[in-house]
Every structure is written in structure tokens, then in C-alpha cells.
Structure 1
Amino acid sequence: MSTRIIDQAANVFADPSAYADEAKLHAALAHLRANAPVSWVDVPGYRPFWAITKHADVMEIERANTLFTNSPRPVLATMEGDDQQAAIGVKTLIHMDDPEHRAVRAIGADWFRPKAMRALKIRIDELARRYVDQMVAAGPECDFVQEVAVNYPLYVIMSMLGMPESDFPLMLKYTQELFGSDDAEMQRSASLEESMAVLLEMFAYFNDMTASRRATPTEDLASAIANATIDGEPLSDIDTVSYYLIIATAGHDTTSAVISGGLHALIENPDQRERLRANMDLMSLATEEMIRWVTPVKEFMRTARADTTIRGVPIAEGESVLLSYASSNRDEDVFGDPFRFDVGRSPNKHNAFGYGVHFCLGAALARMEVNSFFSELVPRLESIELTGDPEHIATIFVGGLKHLPIRYSLTG
């Protein structure tokens, strides 16, 4: 066997606290891009993997979806976590490969196509206005993450699913506990058993929803999922619940991270805030820059189905690679001055939504929500400043800010 490239900086990927310290994280990622862009990581508690930190290599692996598969290890987790999730049988779109992935993805695809998004835009614009109006009423101070950013996209995706508004707080709690399982403030407890309990409670909730929508179908996404068939057969209970799970969680947590991180970037870069306010035609470009800047999904993993090489480094059949989007989206070879927040950045070839067959199903919805919110907020924003230190969630998968204390003045 050839000598493996090992750089201790790559241990950052198995350290949830690193993602709560952006300076520490990006220093490690910049070092890896320059010195060990394909680095072997073998740390206690995790099955070993290769860390991939360059944009070009991430894209190469994303394109080769038959050589590098999502199954059996789509995200980084501890060995114990991997084993428990496998025992429960979680099987969302991110766990699947073609042809199964293509067939299951198609069930919800129509709900996220451009035609459906155009129909939703009026409603999303109304919700953006509602939440900015609420900021006016609640001002002049708030924790923007907890009072605004988590609620607006949650309302959108839960409404699409057809869930009663009274259940929105419960779903928010579940999602924060699930994605915040490595964060002392957000987790239900430090035990893996409690983290799995969150998943099982979500499964129970969605099993009840499946039974209800099969008995009495309605015109919502939940009914489309509950009553879907593939080759004439309905989805299994676990596959149905897993579908709800990925829509309900990924459908709002990632977008809320972009909205809160995007506002933080505008606060920290007042010149860019004024540039955008003076030319709102930049909003589409600014949306993409916020998504690149935050990159809420930090990584996905793939497993090699045959011996291959990446950047000349041998990758053996059965070995896993971690695709670091957080690193890829600050790659100096792709983005000019990547650590500068630029609302007019063009081109902006970020891969925060992934690439290829696993490109994010809800990307158009996320873009629309971010665009609508800031299109409403920025023209009305007279002043804004931090009133305390922003805090990031500790995570190794999905996350962003958990607190953003601000003082602001908005026109009515």
C-alpha cells in the first residue's frame, strides 16, 4: 500500500466545536487546500475516511456518481451513530443511489420545479413581509436567529407539507435537536440514545401523518409522498417517513442558516449592505454569495466502488471520501478573494447545493426564500448593529448561527 497522506489539520472534520469557531475552521481548511488536499483521517470513534478540500476534486467526485456512491455512508457520523441509524433503517434521498434515487426523487420533484416555485412566490413574498413587519413590532432588539430566521423558512416548508401550524414549534424543536446533537445548548442530551430518541419521535409523528393522508388525501406534499407508488407499489413505511424527514429538516434548517449568516455578513460589511440597498438588482447575486458564504451543509460523503485516484492519491475500493463544501466554497483557485463577502460576485460557482444527480431538490425554493426576505428587509433597513457576540452551532454536518443578537431600525 502506498503511504497515506496524513495531516493533523484534517482532524477538524471530526471536531464539532471547530465549526463553532470559523477562524479556527477556515485556517485548518486553507492549510489543507495548500498542503494536503486529499488527506487520510483516522480518529477515535470514527471509521477512517479521506478528506477532500479542493473545489475541483469535490466536483469530480460529484460527477462520478456510479464510481463514488452515497451508500452506505452518506454523511460523517461516529461509528456508534452509523450503526444506530442503520439499525433504525433511516433511508432518505441522501442515502440512495440510482436507479432507486432517481425514482424516489421524482415523487417530490414537481413540487420544487420552476412552475411550482412561481406559484409559491406570492405566498413567500407575503411571509417575508410578515416577518420583517414582526421585526418592526418587536424592535429595536432581537435574537435574529431564534426570533426570525428559524421561523420564516419553517413556515414555508411546513405549509407545503400541509402540517398544522400548531405543530410547527414541535418540528422546530425536533430539527434543532437532530442537527444540534453535537451542541451542548441545542442537543436533548449528550447521550447517543437521546439523539436517536429524537429520530424515533419524528418517525412516530410522520407515521401518523402517513396514515392520515392515506385515509384522507389532501392537496399537499405530504399526501403526494404518502400515496406515491414506484412500479405500482407504495413506498414502505420507513421510506415514506424518511422522505418526510429529509423534506422537513433540510427544507428549513439550511435556509434559516443562510438567512441568519447572510444578515451577519451584511452587518459586518456595511459597504456591501449599502451597495445592495442602492442597487437591489444585485439581489440574485447577493443571494448566491450568502449561500456560498454560509454553506450550511458542511459535508457529504461518498464511498469508492472501485480502486481509483484523486489528485494522484490512490483511493481503494470501499474507502470513503468526505466532500468538504465549507472548504470548496473558499477555494482560492475558483473564487477571487474568497474571504471577501461580495454581493455582486460573478461568476459564483459555489457548490453549496451539491452537484449532479444529488443536486439539492429544494435549491430553487431556498434561493427564492432568501431573495424574498432580503428584498423586503434591505430597503427598509435604516440601521443595524450587533449587541453581543454571534454564536455558531457545534456540528459536523448541517449548521450555522444559533444566536445573532442585533439592534436595528426599520421603516414601517
Structure 2
Amino acid sequence: MREEVLMPTDLSTVRRRPKDRKEQILEAARALIVEVGYRNVSMAMIADRVGITAGALYRHFANKSVLLGAVIEQSFDEVTPTFGSRARLADALAESCERAVSHQDVGALWWREARNLPDEKLEELRERLRVINKQYADLVAAERPTLPEEQAEELAWGVQSILASPSSHTSRIPEPEFAALLTAVCAGLCETRLPAPSPAVEQTVSRLEPVSKREALLGHAIVLFGEKGYEATGLDEIGAAAGVSGPNLYSYFDSKADLLQAAVERGTSALWLLLHTVLRENSAPKDALGALVSGYVELASNKTILTSLLQAEQSTLSDEARVRQREYVAEWTALLRACRPQLDQATARVLVHTGLGVVHTLARIEHLRANATLRADLAAMTLAVLFSG
């Protein structure tokens, strides 16, 4: 019979804090934020998942926004490759894609949740992204020394959008094959031949608006939802921009959700009209796909479609809107497979989502618009994604 050893009472009641407690908190917070969204997560929920008191949680992180900043920083650390003085583009892309496939929530954390950070922290993380962008751009320039600096930057942002793309869709491709596919796509994008850049002509902002107050509200809602996100945009703010206030606003839309639904439907209708026009005017699948890409870039660039919602705020879309979105992606997938019959359905779908992600990301980076050829560059980069891998 084994002798039972009793610990002294004063020691047996002591709970020792695990050395990795901070990591446990970050892991729990990250999982909850990805699952239900930052605004729906409380510090109490995080503490409960870790199995500690709220007081113990606050000893590590002063508040929820500080914790969010730490979560996003951790995600950046996980997907950033080792850039050294002897780094090669091919090696950096392969390492980056392996990391991105292993940590597929990074894009969602940044695009969906970063807007909840304090301005100072948000700018700090943006600067970190710019530094990473410069490192990719330098590697691209080393391979293509005659490429203009602004276009090396564009291609680097394209790479970063590809690395963030796994969070925007689900894939049944095994991780090693998925990483290899994304690596090939990144390499193909970096080899894209782009037209010579030229400075954009400065355009004055028009003061003209529709006579219809309903249309004015809808137009301003699309702009504000795109700039600030759905949750952060107030109905009164939209009304003020359109010159509609008080009870009059509710004679056009019952709620902000109703306005969002109208904005999504407007963008969806534009996308389907584009598709039907392209299919009617082109008999060859490759020509049709090229026209579809160019048209999509135009709609994203002039903010007809809410790229921020498509990229970062899927939870705000209705079930019907999600169904329509899946149907639209299926049309792109079918057209791509008509061009590339050897592709299986899963791979073609990933390429479509990845290509659309490049458009969504670069169309939202305002300073890139200084290049007048940005839209042509975007179309060429998207086609490079679709025809790589």
C-alpha cells in the first residue's frame, strides 16, 4: 500500500500563478474576439474562459482596448517573416504563407477589430504595417530593379492582402497545399507587369446631390459605412451629412440596419448588372473574366460596393446578403474554371476570394490613388492572382 504524503495545510491552499498566464489570457481573448467580435466580448467573459477572476485579469491588462492591442500585436508577430540583410523574396514569401495559413485569423483581427483601438495604438500598428510593407517592397525591388518605387509598394500591399485573405473565407485545402498555393499566388503577383505610373489628376469634390432625400441618405451611408464601419457610424451622423434630421429621417428608413440592407442591396445589384453585361458582351471566358475584374475594380474604387463590409464585417450582413455573396463568388469561380479547366472547385474558389481581397485592400489605401494607373495596376494584379497557382 502506497503511503500518502500530506502537504502542510498552509502550503496546500496556495494557488501558484502559471508562468504562461499572460499567454493564456491572450489566447482566450483572441478566440472570443474572433468568435463573437470585440464589441460583444467583456473582460468578465475572458476571465471566465481563462479560469481567473476579473481582478487577476486587470493585473495583466488595464482595460479591454489594451488587451485588443496586445492580441493584434501578437498576430502580427506570428505572420511576419524574418527579414535579414540576405533575405530573398522567394524565401520570405514561402515563410510568410506558411505562417499565414497557420494563423488564419490575422486578417479578421486587423480589418474587423483594429478600429476599436485608441488612435495612438492604431497609428502605432499602422506604422508597423508600413514598415513590413517597405521590407516586402525592397525584396520586390531587388528582383525587379527597374520597377518604380510606388509600384513596388503596390505589389507589397498585394502580398500583405494575400497573407490576410484566409480569414475572409473557409478552405478545405490541407494546410501544406494551401501554403504552397498562396506562395505561388504571391510570387505570381510580384511578377505582374504594370503600366508606367503617372500622377493622378486632382479632382474637386462635387457638391451636387440627388434631389431625393432617400437617395442622399443612402449615398452618405455608403461612404460613412465604408470609412468608419457600420457599428461606429450613427444614424444621426448619416442624417446630418444628408441634411435630414429628427423624425424626418425615419420616414425614409426604419433603422440603421434597414439603411445598411439598402446599401448592401444597391452594391449587390451593381455587381450583378456588371456580371450580366460582361457575359453578354464577351464570348470567350478569358475576355469575360478580364472585363469582370476591371469592372469590379471600378466599383470598388468609386465606393459603389462596401468593400469594408465584404472584407471585415460579415457579421453585419443579413443571411440573404450572405447567400447572394456566395452566389456571386460562385459565378467568378465558374468563369475562372472555364478559363482554367484543370482547377478543382476548392482551389478556384480560394483564388477568387484571394483576388477579390487584393482589390478590397488596395482600393481602401487612399495614398495609393496618387498613381493614376492604380486601377489598371489593380486589375493586372488581380488577374495575376487568378492565373497563378
Q: TM-score scaled to structure 1, two decimals?
A: 0.26
As a proportion of its length, which structure holds more strand?
1
Q: TM-score scaled to structure 2, two decimals?
A: 0.27
